[in-house]
Amino acid sequence: MTFRAERAGGGLDESNSLDLVCATASVRSGALLDEAVSDRTRERLEGLAATLPDVFGTVDPTCLDRIAERLGGKPGDATFVEILLLSDTKLHVIQPLAGRPGVAVVAACPANSSIGLVLTAIRARVGDWEAR
């Protein structure tokens, strides 16, 4: 399964075989940052992007640190690196960019997609997004 080249504005073309759309968004404001995404992509991702301030602003990092400690993990890396939300019809992904603090990739595709392939597709683009 291959992807077509992403659009100039940074969002993956929604016509790819996974029907995956993704773009970058501000974690603080919840606004999409890729200006050139198509209207359809914007429509599919705007709602998800708008939730970022709530999703990331309401978690106490020290709490995650303490839970990490109880789970045998190492405290000090108390930020969610990936969040997946699933329903019977849709899969949504949020992935903060480690190289661009305050920016996250938001993505959506049908629920019958292979999650592994979706994550691979998103991660393949992370380098480009982080370089911007």
Quick one: which segment of 6-14, 21-29, 31-39, 64-72 binds other proteins (CB under 8 A)?
64-72
**Shortest distance, CB of residue 26 to other proteins, whole angstroms?**
16
C-alpha triplet 28, 82, 13: angle, nearest 5°: 80
Q: Beta-carbon neighbour count of residue 77 at 10 Å?
A: 11
Q: Which is nearer to other proteins, 33 or 118 (CB)?
A: 118
At 128 the three-state DSSP class reads: helix
C-alpha triplet 87, 93, 96: angle, nearest 5°: 155
Structural tokens at position 69: 């400690």
Quick one: which segment of 1-9, 15-23, 52-60, 97-105 binds other proteins (CB under 8 A)?
52-60
125 near other proteins, rule: CB under 8 A: no
**Shortest distance, CB of residue 93 to other proteins, whole angstroms?**
10
Q: Beta-carbon neighbour count of residue 47 at 10 Å?
A: 12
Q: Which is nearer to other proteins, 34 or 92 (CB)?
A: 92
Quick one: which segment of 6-14, 19-27, 34-42, 56-64 binds other proteins (CB under 8 A)?
56-64
